[in-house]
Amino acid sequence: MDEQESAMNWHALESTALTLVTKALQDLSAEHPDEQFYACALYTDSSAMTMAVAVNSVEALEEKLEGEGEEEREELMPYYKWASSEWKYEGWKGEYFKDVCKDLREASDRSDISRFKEKLHSLMVNILSSLRREGFFTSFKIQEPILFVTVTDDDNAEELENKTAELLNSSEKYNYFIRRFDR
């Protein structure tokens, strides 16, 4: 099928992506069974051409902070804790998402990019919501990690993170999350 003809089948993409995200997170849990995963995000880029998983653990955060000078640790901690680009498991099992990313790049309905981005963000929220609802995270040491959707290279990332965190987490977790950069 020619690039111009390939309209996105969002329902099929969501089903496929849910399976891939589930597998990626199962692999992470199996490969790092002793880590305490406190946050999990699905993310894309500002052009909505990619989709990937990012996860971080208490242990990975502590390890990252240990690499910093003592004076900088307190200042850097919120950023390292919540910026998915700083997480140890950012882009985890990215190879699983190769075909999803190809579909996103080649979809003909990209011409209305704002609508396309909204649909992708909704799809990612639906996936994380489905995992939460199905009790997927109960096998993790931290059974209710903070979930959100983000964009790697966009000035509006924090707004999207806050909006999606409100949809995906308990009010207690959400209130903690929205104050993540307060000092």
Domain assignments of the chain as residue spans, ordered by start: 36-178
Extract the tokens encoding 38: 């406190």
**Tens digits of residue pLDDT in 97-149:** 999 999 999 999 999 999 999 999 999 999 999 999 999 999 888 889 999 99
Q: How confident is the model at residue 2 (pLDDT cuts 50, 70, 90)?
A: very low
3-state DSSP of 6-53: CCCCHHHHHHHHHHHHHHHHHHHHHHCCCCCEEEEEEEECCCCCCCEE
